Amino acid sequence: MIEKLVVIEEEPPSLTEEPPEPVPARLGDLPPRSAEIPSGIPAYSRPIQLKLVKPNAKHSARSRDYRLRFHPGVSQAEWDDWTWQIAHRITTLEQLGRVIHLSDGESRVFQDRKEGIPLSITPYYASLLDPFDPAQALRRTVVPSIYEYLLSPGEDQDPLSEEKDTVVPGLVHRYPDRVLFLVTYACSTYCRYCTRSRAVGDGVCDTGIGRWEQALAYIRDHSEVRDVLISGGDPLTLPDEALDWLLSRIAAIPHVEFIRIGTKVPAVLPQRITRSLIKVLRRYRPLFISIHATHPDEITPEMRQACGRLADAGIPLGSQTVLLAGVNDSVETMTKLFHGLLTMRVRPYYLYQCDPIPGSNHFRTSVAKGLEIIRGLRGHTTGYAVPTYVIDAPGGGGKIPLLPEYAMGYENGDLLLKNYEGKTFRYPDPGASEDRFIRC
């Protein structure tokens, strides 16, 4: 519950007005921040006293109309506060039915469901949903469906076998030089195709300081770890002080060279990218952020501002997109999404084949569809807009890249290549022979 609101009616200074803190030569040169263990872990667990500043923010017409219709007594300053958005998430059938017209199938799933991915949608993201069309792309990704309870062959609670490579609670060490640090299982908005559907939203298996300390000790003891990916759940749903505490301790480990954060916050809760958060994140460069982007309808003035603030702070941004049937499985949609991301200084990084979690068959396309999309991008737009298409191999095999067939083999010592137009070209490959047939 929010205890008190104090609105200060002045514009905040520009993000660029504050001189940046000195950046060390390497992360290991940074001492840990306060030794005091922060409160507020896991997220949303304590009363919040807010001091709101009149926002210097951009707003889409849809979010303004939604606020005025469904939250008429809420000021723009409250709407722009991320803790207000968290406190007013849609989590029940009754709340959802007030903002969208539920289809029979959507209503039935709430009557029949006993477990599964919880429902949680921020008011901001709810403003982007079509209230009348159950087939709308964004709506399908966050509103439960009866298809989630239809199990198909090959589906698994832990399709990537992360539990097998978990070395201490919340820390996955699969690749030689990097670890996956699951710092929370909470998200502001839950995607219906989440790889960690087995855990997200489950307070019983949520992480906390005790588990963080175990993971930090493991990283300190393994000098081969140079790259730490912080994920969850969504790490940016944690309070600033918790993130500062955690990042400072990772950054103080001498052999850790850089840190990455995986998040969907800029798309579903852009209000979270505050000046105070930016101040925390910029202390720990080199820091990279991978943004989960699904569809071009997510690219709003609010998301643009959030990404702009991160980019202006010197944080490289990449995107990770899951290929989803009926949501983004066309060249046209992906081109629009990736072009939009580039205009926000977000580089398309990975296009994922949807992981086979239980009840995901209605979301999963064929691999041929993914290759078709890559063919439709390569050569037809800038290379910066072409991500790497990967399957995160079931059973813990890691990310395996997939490409259309561009290398066709050898003929008379030349490598035969097919370009984006389907035309064949020759490349004189020194020392090559026809028995060295290569396919990509």
- Closest to 136 (Cα-Cα) out of 282, 324, 311, 309: 324
Residue 372 and residue 430 in one domain: no
Q: Which residue has the tokens 């691999």?
A: 367
Q: Would residue 354 show up in a list of annotated catalytic residues for this protein?
A: no
Residue 397 and residue 410 in one domain: no
- Closest to 111 (Cα-Cα) out of 137, 92, 83: 92
| Helix extents (H) in 121-225 | 123-126, 137-142, 209-221
| Selected catalytic residue, list 33, 196, 283, 304 | 196
- What pLDDT score does 208 carry? 73
Residue 165 and residue 114 in one domain: yes
Q: Could you tell me if residue 18 is inside a domain?
A: no
Q: Could you tell me if residue 146 is inside a domain?
A: yes
- What pLDDT score does 166 carry? 96
Q: Could you tell me if residue 87 is inside a domain?
A: yes
Q: Integer distance in angstroms from the first to the last C-alpha of the chain?
A: 55
Residue 4 and residue 113 in one domain: yes
- Closest to 422 (Cα-Cα) out of 436, 406, 403: 406
| Selected catalytic residue, list 33, 67, 89, 187 | 187
Q: Would residue 178 show up in a list of annotated catalytic residues for this protein?
A: yes
| Selected catalytic residue, list 44, 147, 149, 175 | 175
* Spatial contact of 418 and 396, defined as CB atoms under 8 Å apart: no
Q: Which residues have CB under 8 Å from 138's CB, separation 6+?
A: 125, 128, 129, 130, 294, 295, 297, 298
Helix/strand/coil (H, E, C) string of 341-356?
HHHCCEEEEEEEECCC
Residue 50 and residue 132 in one domain: yes
* Spatial contact of 426 and 397, defined as CB atoms under 8 Å apart: no
Residue 414 and residue 397 in one domain: no
Residue 435 and residue 344 in one domain: no
Element (H, E) at 228: strand 227-231
Sign of CA dihedral 371, 374, 380, 383: negative
HSE of 224, CA atoms in CB hemisphere, 13 A: 7
Q: Could you tell me if residue 417 is inside a domain?
A: yes
Residue 277 and residue 366 in one domain: yes
Q: Would residue 355 show up in a list of annotated catalytic residues for this protein?
A: yes
| Selected catalytic residue, list 260, 304, 355, 364 | 355
CATH, residue 131: 3.20.20.70
Q: Which domain holds residue 306?
A: 1-13+28-402
Q: How many domains does the chain have?
A: 2
Element (H, E) at 286: none
Q: Quote the CA–CA distance of 331 and 369 in Å, as a whole number.
A: 10
Residue 88 and residue 36 in one domain: yes
Residue type, 408: M
Task: Tell me the CA distances in angstroms from 148 to 110, 205, 355, one per residue in order.
Answer: 12, 22, 13
Residue 91 and residue 167 in one domain: yes
Element (H, E) at 259: strand 258-263
pTM: 0.86
Question: Where are any strands of DSSP class E within 362-412?
Answer: 388-393, 398-402, 407-411
| Selected catalytic residue, list 33, 158, 193, 194 | 194
pLDDT digits (tens, 9 = 90+) for 187-240: 999 999 999 988 887 654 556 788 999 999 999 999 999 999 999 999 999 999
User: Which residue numbers in the chain have pLDDT < 50?
Assistant: 1-19, 40-55, 204, 434-435, 437-440
| Selected catalytic residue, list 130, 227, 392, 414 | 392
Q: Quote the CA–CA distance of 411 and 168 in Å, as a whole number.
A: 53
How is residue 26 written in tokens?
């390497």
| Selected catalytic residue, list 89, 139, 140, 174 | 174
Q: Would residue 309 show up in a list of annotated catalytic residues for this protein?
A: no
Q: Could you tell me if residue 22 is inside a domain?
A: no
Q: How many Å separate Cα 338 from the centre of its chain?
A: 15
Q: Could you tell me if residue 21 is inside a domain?
A: no
H helices, E strands: number in the chain: 14, 15
Residue 188 and residue 152 in one domain: yes
Q: Would residue 194 show up in a list of annotated catalytic residues for this protein?
A: yes
Element (H, E) at 196: none
HSE of 433, CA atoms in CB hemisphere, 13 A: 1
- Closest to 282 (Cα-Cα) out of 17, 13, 22: 22
Residue 90 and residue 175 in one domain: yes
Q: Would residue 196 show up in a list of annotated catalytic residues for this protein?
A: yes
